[in-house]
Chains A and B, each alone.
Chain A
Amino acid sequence: MLYFRGCVVREKLPQIEMATCMVLKKAGIDYDIVDGEECCGSFLLRTGFTDDALQVMHKTSQNLKDETILVSCAGCYNTLKNDYKKYLGVELDVIHTSQLFSNLIKQGIIKPKKLPVNVCYHDPCHLGRHCGEYQSPREVLASVANLVPMENEKENSHCCGAGGGVKSAYPELASEIALKRVDDALQAGAELLVTCCPFCVLNLESEKLKVIDLTEFFCLCNSVESLENNISKEDILKKSPNTQKKI
């Protein structure tokens, strides 16, 4: 298995990479991290830079053929799975961390521990509406916490506001949209908002509610880290929301 981290995890949210590697280790899965990993091409495709996208996709596809590719990012997932086929005719065997974890739980390889914390799950557009994956992340979450439904879910999920290059070009618009999404979770009684796209994590972060990536949360709940053997609900909620590297 090849682990393709994606640019946000690689450079802004390395704790997701750490958590992913810990789960893989615990599950006894052999994996490699892509050497000289570059861009998946998603940003370039969404913003109209097709020529650049095709170049970078061609290069990236050379490193990914004939392997099962594990991704942390919903954007990478949609791009590698659908756009590589559409633009390059390359069918890649891609799996999202949420799908892998769901399988590991079903196979009894990881026996999750449940914490009494109310969480809402935000569907990333790339994973949900664009790829139809609504179930796996929910299965994983329901096994480690009280999964509380919120308004506008699954197919009708509201965007976090970051997609399509909006976060970089119109940051205020992106943040305003994100706050509405956070309100949906607060209204549902969430103590924590979990999603499984690093772009969504970065955009949804606010003072109002702690946001965490599914992998990181899953890793914490299962005390994969030996130092955090007896992690409590309070520990998780206290964990600083702004742990990403500043770039």
Chain B
Amino acid sequence: MKRSQLSIMNRSFTKLNERRSTLIYNEDTINLKQRVQKIRKNSVEHLHLLLEKAQENLTANGMEVILAKDAEEARESIYQLIKNEDMIAKSKSNTAGEIQLSEYLESRDVEVLETDLGDRIVQFHTSRPTHPIGPACHLNMEKIAEVVSDKFQREVKAEPRAILETVKKDILEKLSQCKVGITGANSVAAEDGSLLMVHNEGNISLLTMLDLHIVLVGIDKLVPTLEDAMSVVKLETIYATGKTVPAYMNVVSSPSKTADIEQILLKDMYGAKRVVLIFLDNGRSRALEEKEECLWCIGCGACIVNCPVYTTLGPDFGYLRHLGGRGIVLSHFIENDEVCYDSGLYQCTLCGLCTVECPLEIPTNNMLEDLRKESVKKGLYLEKHGEIRENIRKRGSSFKQET
């Protein structure tokens, strides 16, 4: 990543730190954090049971549920649902990033309309998102204006309102031609059969009103109840943005319906005619067996904001949209040792700051240290480290013989 983009990203991170600084230490947040730790740890521990319950209850509520064991299955399921469309609308989703959905759909001639402003800008700029909630925080206003001007072939002033209006107008025009909306979900309540989505722009509300609403979600997002889900997303919002609540929390439990005429159930009032939920495994079951802590994550991005390595290398340190050390752990389960190695397995200093920053206290440095053992067993280690091992074998010291 370019040095100039890194410094803009770090400036954004400094602002975020300032905004969060008092909020994360207040008593309410600490209580919420303790509650969410219990919820998440308990949910991950009983993940398969929750998944069964969720399938049952979501289906009973009128949604369609598909289980996808890997990225390919998920992409194919989505493609089968939308293959007659020229364009689909999408909200920000790190899970969609994980399965490289946009790239896949574009390759099959389906245009993807990103509706989140930051994502749309990154889509125009063709760079990698740098924060799970603020994907464009590596671009400054001048650069964004330049990218947007290039896209629309007319000069857009380097002024936030002008940029917003230009992008919004284009998105709304295109959105009127879309019949399918694809979103993620921040948390899924198994017992209620409900999906909880968080956003600030209102874009997800618009997507839920299209004919078909496809929700792509990792199975790790499951919690027992809607109250639990609400706690999770409140904490996520605090750690991700420094605000106590987002502008919107949408709960979707069924396609649009009414019973206003003699209590006769009628579908298809204003919202989606169909809601299809795709539960993505993609290595999560494996992770559950070996390193379940990496599934506690609520997606706030607090781990990368102060990470010495991430703030120096940017998204090259991580795996697709799973940024930073925890993303590298996940890459081992989603892909294999080679991808894990290439994602930066040995770039982490194992300092443990991310565990302190993480509201779930995920022990990422311990997990990475463990994964290095497996990597070495496969012969995947750095030449320099191999040399030092030889020095230790020969003379009990990391250093070569003094010359």
Contacts and interface: CB of A to CB of B under 8 A. Distances in A.
Nearest to A157: B353
Interface string A1-36: 000000110111000000000000000000000001
A173 B384 CA distance: 15
Contact of A159 (B308, B313, B368, B396): B308
Interface stretch (A88-96, A161-169, A211-219): A161-169
B362 to A, nearest CB: 14
B352 A130 contact: yes
Nearest to A176: B312
Contacts of B259: none
A173 B356 contact: no
Contacts of B309: 166, 173, 177
Given A157-B353, A165-B382, A168-B388, A38 B396 contact: yes
B398 A43 contact: yes
A245 B397 CA distance: 15
Main secondary structure of the interface of A (DSSP, over half): helix
A50 interface: yes
B392 A161 contact: no
B258 interface: no
Interface in B36-87: none
B376 A49 contact: yes
Interface of A: 7-8, 10-12, 36-39, 43-50, 52, 56, 125, 129-130, 152, 155-159, 161-166, 168-170, 173-174, 176-177, 180, 245, 247
> How extensive is the interface on chain B, given as a class?
35 or more
B306 interface: yes
B392 A44 contact: yes
Would you list the 6 A-B pairs with minimal beta carbon distance, nearest first?
A: A38-B396, A48-B372, A159-B351, A164-B350, A163-B349, A48-B376
A205 B313 CA distance: 21
Contacts of B368: 164
Interface string B121-139: 0000000000000000000
Contacts of A170: 346-347
Contact of B393 (A10, A52, A177): A52
Interface of B: 306, 308-309, 311-313, 346-353, 356-357, 365, 368-369, 371-376, 381-382, 384-385, 388-389, 392-393, 396-400, 402-403
A164 B402 contact: no
Contacts of A8: 398
A60 B384 CA distance: 24
Contacts of A43: 388, 392, 398
Contact of A48 (B351, B373, B384): B373
Contacts of B375: 48
B402 A11 contact: yes
A48 to B, nearest CB: 3
Nearest to B392: A39
Contact of B397 (A38, A157, A173): A38
